[in-house]
Amino acid sequence: MSDNVGAPAGDLERRLATILSADVAEYSRLMAEDEEETLRVFRGHKEVFEKLVALHRGRIFNTAGDAILAEFGSAVEAVRCATEIQAALRTRNDQLHREKLLRGFTKRYNVFKLVYYEVGHDPSGAIARESSSRPAHDKRKST
C-alpha cells in the first residue's frame, strides 16, 4: 500500500494541464518510401513545433518516433499553439512541395495542387475521360 493513503490533501501537488498530442500522418509509409528525406523533413518540422510550444509557454515532456506530447498550463495557449503549428507546417509543406516534388508536368505548368491523376495509354481515351469528368455546367457544346 502507498504511504499517501489517508494523507491530507495538502501534501499532494495538484494542477490543471492541457496536453497537446501530435504525430505525423502516414509516417510509416513515408519512412518506407524515403527514410533519409522523411527524417530530414521531420527534424525541421519538430524544430518548428518546439519553438512554437516554447513561445506559448508550454513544454515538451515526451517524444517517441514521430509522436510529440506537450503540456500547457492554459488550454487557450495550447489551442493557439496547435493552430499556429498547423499553419506553420502547412506553409512549410507547401514550400517543400514547390522545391522538391514539383517535377515534370506540375513544374512545367505551375500547378501546385494535384487532386487526381490517371495513367492512360492513348490520347483519345484521355480526352474522352477528361470530357466525361467535367461538371454538367462546364460541358462545352459539341455542335
Domain boundaries, the chain: 15-102
Average pLDDT on 43-65 reads 94
Question: pTM of the entire structure?
Answer: 0.61
DSSP the chain: --TTTT--GGGS-----EEEEE--TTHHHHHHH-HHHHHHHHHHHHHHHHHHHHHTTEEEEEEETTEEEEEES-HHHHHHHHHHHHHHHHHHHHHHIIIII--THHHHTT----------SSHHHHHHHHHHTS-GGGPPP--
Span 109-123, pLDDT tens digits:
555 555 555 556 666
pLDDT for 9: 61
CATH level 3 topology of 15-102: Alpha-Beta Plaits (3.30.70)
